[in-house]
């Protein structure tokens, strides 16, 4: 028997101590959450992507009466970002969500499908993508998508 332990280091910042560029990215995600289309779940998620060139592109969840036809905020933002900048060189992604008219007390971790889509973006970027998860009680900083998705199914997997 062998054991393989996977560790992830998450930094938790007080919201006031975020560095200015991170604060700006988080604020963009918070603002994007306010424009989401979520009449079914009433859970309004915003995501802000910082491209390597500094550009910030935002997105939010877009729901549909046929539930699976909707899309999460993270993928809306990332897919739009990569459609505008086909190099898809993403430096960081921030996520914030509102329920019942206020931002969540705990950070909202990206769903599995968004992690998988983020992993592809990380592979394409060729470097780690930092993930910032905002909440009223603090912001989680996760150093890479790989650390959120430790056992990865990716292109290389199919070549082995």
Which residues does the annotation mark as catalytic? 74
Check binding of 91 to ligand THU (CB under 6 A). Answer: no
Task: For residue 73, give every residue at least 6 positions away whose Cβ sits within 8 Å of its Cβ, in sequence order, or none.
Answer: 29, 32, 33, 36, 45, 46, 47, 59, 60, 61, 95, 97
CA 138/CA 14 separation, integer angstroms: 5
Q: In terms of CB distance, is 110 or 138 closer to ligand THU?
A: 110
Q: How far is the CB of 23 from ligand THU (least distance, A)?
A: 21
Q: How far is the CB of 73 from ligand THU (least distance, A)?
A: 4
The radius of gyration of the chain from alpha carbons, rounded to an integer in Å, stands at 16
Check binding of 143 to ligand THU (CB under 6 A). Answer: no
Q: In terms of CB distance, is 4 or 62 closer to ligand THU?
A: 62
DSSP character string of 100-130 = TTEE-SS--PPPHHHHHHHHHHHHHHTS--E
- The footprint of ligand THU on residues 103-122 (CB under 6 A) is 110-111, 114
Q: In terms of CB distance, is 43 or 80 closer to ligand THU?
A: 43
Q: Quickly tell me which residue has 């900048």 as its tokens.
A: 85
Q: Which of 43, 80, 85, 99 binds ligand THU (CB under 6 A)?
A: 43
Q: In terms of CB distance, is 116 or 128 closer to ligand THU?
A: 116
Q: Which stretch binds ligand THU (CB under 6 A): 2-10, 36-44, 119-127, 143-151?
A: 36-44
DSSP character string of 69-96 = G-B-HHHHHHHHHHHHSTT--EEEEEEE
CA angle 75, 76, 78 (to 5 degrees): 60
Residues that bind ligand THU (CB under 6 A): 38, 41, 43, 45, 61, 63, 70, 72-74, 110-111, 114
């Amino acid at each position: 028997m062998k054991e393989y332990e996977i560790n992830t280091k998450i930094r938790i910042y007080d919201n006031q101590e975020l560095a200015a560029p991170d604060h700006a990215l988080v604020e963009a995600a918070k603002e994007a959450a306010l424009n989401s289309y979520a009449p079914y779940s009433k859970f309004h998620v915003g995501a802000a992507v910082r491209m390597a060139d500094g550009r910030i592109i935002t997105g939010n969840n877009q729901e549909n009466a046929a539930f699976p036809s909707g899309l999460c905020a993270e993928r809306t933002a990332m897919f739009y970002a990569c459609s505008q900048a086909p190099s898809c060189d993403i430096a960081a992604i921030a996520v914030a969500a509102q329920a019942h008219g206020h931002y969540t007390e705990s950070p909202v971790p990206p769903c599995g499908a968004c992690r998988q889509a983020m992993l592809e973006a990380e592979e394409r970027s060729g470097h780690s993508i930092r993930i910032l998860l905002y909440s009223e009680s603090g912001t989680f900083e996760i150093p890479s998508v790989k650390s959120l998705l430790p056992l990865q199914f990716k292109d290389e997997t199919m070549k082995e």
